């Protein structure tokens, strides 16, 4: 056992028992059994550690299985969440299949904490979420909750913009089989097969899913070949629920993260520069295997035990195994950089050559989670501990070279690794003082040790070991004025360690966030309104600079003081039995305070500047029409205001605002002679054929060659165009 783990165990043991003692001592004089306490389902207890109730003082949105199914025709999960408040999505391939991204309140995916059944999904090193590794996972989601802001304590790296808590399929009491197929633009196909045995002898269930998705992509050669699986075995008897899950995916996507410049955007917006090279005859060609190839498997085990109407426990174990590479054709590559040569042929010394290389990542992630919950008429308390270990190997190899010298295939030219230990303990409680007032408290201690060694992909030595200790308190209160009006206020602190790419940039300072939320909820028979004001106060926030590294990952830099101030409103208006309107809007000001940058060789204070990739207006609307039973028509609209891709308010870095609209249709036929139901679905994206860009990058560099003795800062930008009008149609047969 390493000194860090041993010392952390001691610290966590003290903290854990203090938290446990403080959360349970108040019940020693109470009767454990209370007939008046509402008993939750065993499946619901899985969500206790990461979700909040409808009347909690945490800003959130819930999405159920049925809502996801309406547009689940092959696009990634982030795209299906595009119409939630404060959400902006993007797709490298342009059509929502392959590599996709999500931002919430201007915070990118590395700052959105994602858990699947309470287990962190964010990569421990990069802190990113790569949904391409779990294609069609939406078909195995029972429900999800998106908490905006710091939210409640959750496992994994802290939420700096939002947290997304996903519950996979619940137990099905009835046996079923389901076949789903869809086809759409850009030769997009999705095939899904699902089944469940139902509860056998009222105790056992086995269910699963197999999926395959292929697409040519909107961008040239941005193909996707995606496969995934989901298998669940469950045992339920009385107050015991045990689940064992295995799920994962295999992705092979042609690279499309290079983007294009403004001139190309105007002349050939689907152009993809990935894999470009010039052959011996001087012809422009594209390497046919410039691909990303990655497999990821998840194994989860859950044991949920209810002892009586008050007490329950949950034990979770996880192992994730990932491995894969991306392949590149490099024209006139430096042989010495790749540990080849120099090569002597006659009197000539060859120092460069065309070659094909692969950059690998192999990683293992282990996690264990234990939680105890107590609930009665007044109190709902959860105390838990979480431990995880991540080990990742990074290495590069040359698999072909026009001039390879005496090297062998797959000789490595760099190798490095990273190891990360994380230990977390928390206790959170909701106390209902009476029918009007309730109070929420949440204490979390988080201890992280991260070590890197070896060489980066740039062959720079990266030997670092850092330890981070965080205390993250949260508190809130709710007041119910009457049956229709509820008010809430909350405060939450989050702290985060830098990621591997930050270490490569020489950034080791942790960032901190104080989040203040004030909200009002209105509920009536025909109208529901959720509104909130937030102020997110950052210290040493790692903002995106707009630049990308050599593997397409965004580069970050410490901005010092910064903040996000915003107003969010989402509503549901039931106009009649047939018509429903669901609008939402987010208005915000996102600023770096006294931002200092280098310009023309000098440091300049620009004052307050806009934080990158943070539009001040994000709005959406859904108009749903049900003319007859089982037929639903929906018209969906999304507006994203202009945003900067850098932090210096440069016009070169500006992304224009865009307004797009989609049309969705679902019709279900029931009681068929060959099955229980047949659901026909259609989705037309970007119905008005808007040419828009949802993402890009921005860079600067100092030019001292054009005018010797003078340094001039040069700016440039790249863009990721999104698909014009496109469609998907599908059919789901349930047996």
Angstrom distance (rounded) from CA 383 to CA 377: 18
Q: Between the CA of residue 693 and those of 78, 103, 132, what are the distances in Å?
A: 17, 15, 21
CATH code of the domain containing 596? 2.40.170.20
Q: What is the pLDDT of residue 612?
A: 96
- Candidates 447, 441, 388, 450; CA nearest to 419 is 450
Q: Distance of alpha carbon 428 from its chain centroid, rounded?
A: 24
Angstrom distance (rounded) from CA 94 to CA 90: 7
Angstrom distance (rounded) from CA 696 to CA 612: 11
Q: Which residues make beta-bridge pairs with 194? A: 178, 209
The residue range of the domain holding 326 is 3-734
Angstrom distance (rounded) from CA 220 to CA 273: 9
Pair type for strands 485-496 and 511-523: antiparallel
Segment holding 368, helix H or strand E: strand 352-375
- Contact (Cβ atoms closer than 8 angstroms) between residue 575 and residue 610: no
- Contact (Cβ atoms closer than 8 angstroms) between residue 217 and residue 192: no
- The CA radius of gyration of the chain, in Å to the nearest whole number, is 26
Q: What is the pLDDT of residue 250?
A: 97
- Contact (Cβ atoms closer than 8 angstroms) between residue 115 and residue 152: no
Query: 712 exposed, middle or buried (CB, 10 Å; 0-12, 13-18, 19+)?
Result: middle
Angstrom distance (rounded) from CA 45 to CA 243: 13
Q: Distance of alpha carbon 17 from its chain centroid, rounded?
A: 32
Count of CA atoms in the C-beta half-sphere (13 A) of 425: 16
Query: What φ, ψ does residue 169 adopt, rounded to 5°?
Result: -50, 130
Instruction: Give the DSSP letter string of 309-353.
Output: SSEEEEEEEEEEEEEEEEEEEEEEEETTTTT---EEETTEEE-EE
Q: Max alpha carbon distance in the chain (Å)? A: 93
Q: Look up the pTM and report it.
A: 0.91
Instruction: Give the DSSP letter string of 48-85.
Output: TTT---TTSSS-EEEEEHHHHHTT-SS--HHHHTTTST
Q: Which residues make beta-bridge pairs with 350? A: 343
* Tokens (6 digits) for 635: 């018209």
- Candidates 532, 520, 529; CA nearest to 565 is 532
Segment holding 429, helix H or strand E: strand 411-432
Residues 6+ apart with CB under 8 A from 466: 449, 450, 451, 497, 498, 508
CB atoms within 10 A of CB 239: 14
- Number of domains observed in the structure of the chain: 1
- Contact (Cβ atoms closer than 8 angstroms) between residue 344 and residue 389: no
Angstrom distance (rounded) from CA 288 to CA 236: 50
3-class DSSP string for 586-642? EEEEEEECCCEEEECCEEEECCCEECCCCCCEEEEEEEEECCCCCEEEEEEEEEECC
- Contact (Cβ atoms closer than 8 angstroms) between residue 64 and residue 166: no
Count of CA atoms in the C-beta half-sphere (13 A) of 120: 31
- Candidates 423, 417, 415, 507; CA nearest to 466 is 507
Q: What is the pLDDT of residue 24?
A: 37
- Candidates 534, 613, 538; CA nearest to 568 is 534
Residues 534, 540, 541: CA angle, nearest 5 degrees: 50
Mean pLDDT split into 10-residue runs, the chain, 735 residues: 48 43 36 38 64 89 94 95 96 96 93 94 93 96 95 84 94 95 97 97 96 98 97 95 97 95 96 94 94 97 94 96 96 94 84 94 96 94 96 96 88 95 95 94 95 94 96 96 96 94 92 96 96 97 89 86 97 96 97 91 91 97 96 98 96 97 97 93 98 95 73 91 98 96
């Amino acid at each position: 056992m390493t000194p860090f783990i041993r010392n952390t165990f001691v610290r966590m043991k003290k903290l854990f028992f203090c938290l446990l003692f403080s959360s349970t001592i108040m019940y020693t004089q109470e009767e454990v059994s209370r007939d008046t306490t509402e008993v939750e389902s065993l499946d619901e207890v899985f969500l206790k550690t990461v979700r909040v109730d409808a009347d909690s003082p945490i800003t959130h949105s819930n999405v159920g299985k049925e809502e996801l199914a309406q547009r689940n025709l092959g696009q990634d999960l982030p795209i299906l969440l595009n119409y939630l408040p404060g959400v902006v999505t993007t797709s490298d391939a342009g059509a929502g299949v392959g590599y996709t991204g999500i931002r919430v309140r201007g915070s990118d995916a590395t700052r959105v904490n994602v858990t699947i059944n309470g287990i962190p999904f964010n990569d421990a090193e990069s802190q990113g979420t790569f949904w391409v590794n779990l294609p069609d996972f939406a078909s195995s989601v029972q429900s999800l909750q998106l908490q905006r802001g710091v939210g409640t304590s959750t496992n994994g790296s802290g939420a700096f913009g939002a947290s997304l808590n996903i519950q996979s399929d619940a137990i099905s009491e009835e046996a079923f089989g389901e076949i789903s197929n869809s086809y759409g633009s850009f030769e997009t196909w999705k095939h899904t097969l699902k089944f469940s045995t139902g509860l056998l002898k009222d105790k056992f269930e086995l269910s699963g899913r197999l999926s395959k998705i292929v697409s040519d992509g909107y961008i040239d050669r941005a193909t996707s070949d995606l496969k995934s699986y989901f298998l669940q075995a469950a045992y339920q008897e009385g107050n015991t629920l045990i689940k064992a899950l295995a799920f994962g995916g295999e992705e092979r996507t042609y690279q499309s993260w290079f983007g294009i410049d403004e001139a190309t955007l105007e002349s050939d917006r689907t152009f993809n520069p990935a894999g470009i090279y010039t052959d011996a005859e001087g012809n422009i060609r594209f390497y046919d295997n410039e691909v990303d190839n990655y497999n990821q498997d998840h194994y989860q085990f859950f044991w949920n035990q209810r002892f009586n109407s008050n007490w329950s426990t949950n034990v979770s174990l996880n192992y994730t195994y990932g491995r894969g590479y991306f392949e590149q054709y490099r024209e006139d590559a430096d042989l010495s950089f790749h540990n080849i040569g120099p090569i002597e042929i006659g009197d000539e010394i060859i120092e460069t050559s065309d070659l094909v290389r692969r950059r690998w990542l192999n990683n293992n992630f282990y996690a264990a989670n234990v939680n105890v919950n107590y609930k009665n008429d007044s109190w709902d308390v959860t105390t838990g501990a979480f431990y995880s270990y991540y080990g990742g190997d990074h290495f590069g190899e040359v698999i072909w070279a026009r001039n390879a010298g005496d090297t062998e295939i797959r000789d490595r030219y760099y190798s490095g690794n990273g190891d990360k230990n994380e230990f977390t303990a928390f206790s959170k409680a909701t106390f209902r003082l009476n029918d009007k007032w309730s109070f929420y408290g949440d204490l979390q201690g988080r201890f992280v040790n991260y070590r890197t060694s070896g060489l980066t992909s740039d062959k720079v030595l990266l030997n670092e070991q850092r330890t981070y200790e965080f205390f993250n308190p949260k508190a809130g209160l709710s007041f119910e004025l009457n049956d229709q009006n509820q008010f809430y206020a909350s405060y939450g602190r989050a702290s985060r360690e830098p990621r591997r790419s930050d270490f490569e940039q020489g950034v080791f300072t942790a960032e901190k966030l104080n989040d203040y939320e004030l909200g009002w909820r209105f509920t009536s028979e025909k109208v529901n309104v959720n509104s909130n004001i937030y102020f997110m106060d950052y210290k040493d926030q790692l903002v995106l600079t707009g630049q990308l590294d050599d593997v397409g990952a965004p580069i970050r830099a410490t901005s010092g003081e910064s903040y996000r101030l915003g107003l969010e409103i989402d509503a549901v208006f039931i106009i009649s039995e047939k018509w429903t309107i669901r609008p939402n809007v987010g208005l915000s000001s996102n600023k770096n305070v006294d931002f200092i940058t280098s310009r023309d060789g000098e440091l300049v204070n620009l004052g307050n500047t806009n934080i990158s990739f943070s539009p001040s207006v994000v709005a959406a609307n859904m108009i749903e029409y049900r003319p007859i039973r089982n037929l639903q028509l929906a018209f969906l609209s999304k507006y994203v205001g202009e945003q900067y891709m850098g932090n210096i308010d440069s016009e070169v870095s500006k992304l224009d605002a865009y307004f797009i609209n989609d049309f969705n249709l679902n019709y279900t036929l029931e009681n068929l002679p060959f099955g229980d139901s047949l659901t026909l679905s259609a989705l037309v994206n970007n119905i008005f054929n808007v040419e828009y860009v949802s993402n890009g990058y921005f860079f600067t560099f100092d030019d001292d060659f054009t005018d010797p003795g003078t340094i001039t800062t040069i700016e440039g930008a790249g863009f990721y165009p999104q698909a014009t009008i496109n469609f998907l149609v599908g059919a789901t047969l349930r047996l």
